[in-house]
Amino acid sequence: MGKHPCDLPPIEYGSPRFQHWAEWLAFQSLGLFFYILPLFLIKAFLKALIVLAKVVFKKRIADTLLSIQERLGVSEEESCNILDRSLLNFGWNWVCQISPSTFVKPNNIHTHGLELLEKYQSEGKGTVIAAMHLGLWEAVPMAMRYLEHPLAITVAVQHNPLVDHHLNRTRACDSFHHVLHNRLGIRHTLRYLKGKGTLVVLSDVDIGPSGVPLSFLGQSASTPKWPMELAIRTNSELIVGYTIFNEKGELHLHFCPLAKGEQETMDLGRRMNDEMSKVIQQYPEQWFWMQRRWKTPLENLRAP
């Protein structure tokens, strides 16, 4: 079994308020609901929520459909189909947060490029995995637990400390993985990578004015520098990682090296975004289009 190169500090949580306890009760009730129902009824429930979401978020849905048409060059009808399947895929990730064992079993995991992680470790290098909101991303921690490859996973801080604690405990898989809040000091992360660790960083998101303008699906978008700078500062390899959950119930984990180029922040970022764009074009229905990837105006972004 693999081991972590070093220990990292435990996550600290704030004190819950009454609102948090009420939300936690609803969250637990939903979890029980998902445990009891068979998958075909959960799917019907998620489809009903999608219909409701189209009414409640009508303006955002319209903007997202237009974005799909522009980015992929598809018809309005095809963009509607892509968005429906994308929203259902997001729903499956929601279910997976509560019950990952529903989707992840030792005999349904298939890997593509896992040998890269082993190769980099043998060369004394760490690995930064630029992860995506694509496929069944919430299933990755448990799948890697079955594959006996420990990870350090960067996560955003949830507003509810009770839900935050539950999700992080699920992602840690009984402490097999390290889970890092994004406010943790950088020195711990650097030490982890220098010790040949594998770090997962969600990298297909708009991070506002602090990002750098790099092309994503043909349009400049706010891109986090964090994955590239970590790889450069620790002499680690930067790769793109994503999952595909197919209709047969198989979970495919992909680890893709970047095209050859310079070890420089902007060049690494361009190659990272190019690889992600290529994957999204191949599996558009499995990417989370509603996340508003291009929301930051170009004039608010830092110059390259």
> Which run of H or E residues covers position 216?
strand 212-216
The confidence score (pLDDT) of residue 185 equals 66
* 171 closest CA partner among 195, 200, 213: 200
Name the residue range of residue 45's domain: 18-300
For the packed helices 18-36 and 76-98, what is the interaxial angle rounded to 10 degrees? 100
The confidence score (pLDDT) of residue 91 equals 92
283 SS3 class:
coil
Query: In percent, how much of the chain has pLDDT > 90?
Result: 65
Lowest mean pLDDT segment, chosen from 44-58, 131-145, 179-193? 179-193
10 within domain boundaries:
no
Compute the mean pLDDT over every residue in the chain, rounded to the nearest whole number.
Answer: 90
Q: Long-range contact list for 58-61, CB < 8 A, 24+ apart? A: 60/290, 60/292
98 within domain boundaries:
yes
220 within domain boundaries:
yes
Angstrom CA distances, 56 to 8, 51, 78, 152, stand at 42, 9, 22, 37
The confidence score (pLDDT) of residue 216 equals 96
The confidence score (pLDDT) of residue 304 equals 56
Rounded-to-integer distance, Cα 158 and Cα 168, Å:
10
The confidence score (pLDDT) of residue 124 equals 93
Digit-coded pLDDT (tens) for 145-186: 999 999 999 888 888 999 999 889 999 998 899 988 765 568
Q: 215 exposed, middle or buried (CB, 10 Å; 0-12, 13-18, 19+)? A: middle
As a whole number, mean pLDDT of residues 193-212 equals: 92
276 within domain boundaries:
yes
Q: Which residues, 6+ apart, have CB-to-CB distance to 114 below 8 Å?
A: 147, 149, 253, 255
Residue scoring higher pLDDT (210 or 131): 131
Ramachandran sector of residue 113 (left: φ over 0; alpha: ψ -120 to 50; beta: rest): left
Strand 251-257 versus strand 109-112 pairing type: parallel
7 within domain boundaries:
no
The confidence score (pLDDT) of residue 249 equals 82
List the structure tokens of 261. 């180029």
6 within domain boundaries:
no
134 within domain boundaries:
yes
Res. 6 pLDDT band, cuts 50 70 90: confident
> Which run of H or E residues covers position 246?
none
Res. 290 pLDDT band, cuts 50 70 90: very high
71 within domain boundaries:
yes
Residue scoring higher pLDDT (148 or 262): 148
Digit-coded pLDDT (tens) for 209-250: 889 999 999 999 999 999 999 999 999 999 999 999 888 888
Q: Is the pLDDT of residue 97 over 80?
A: yes
As for how many domains the chain has, the answer is 1
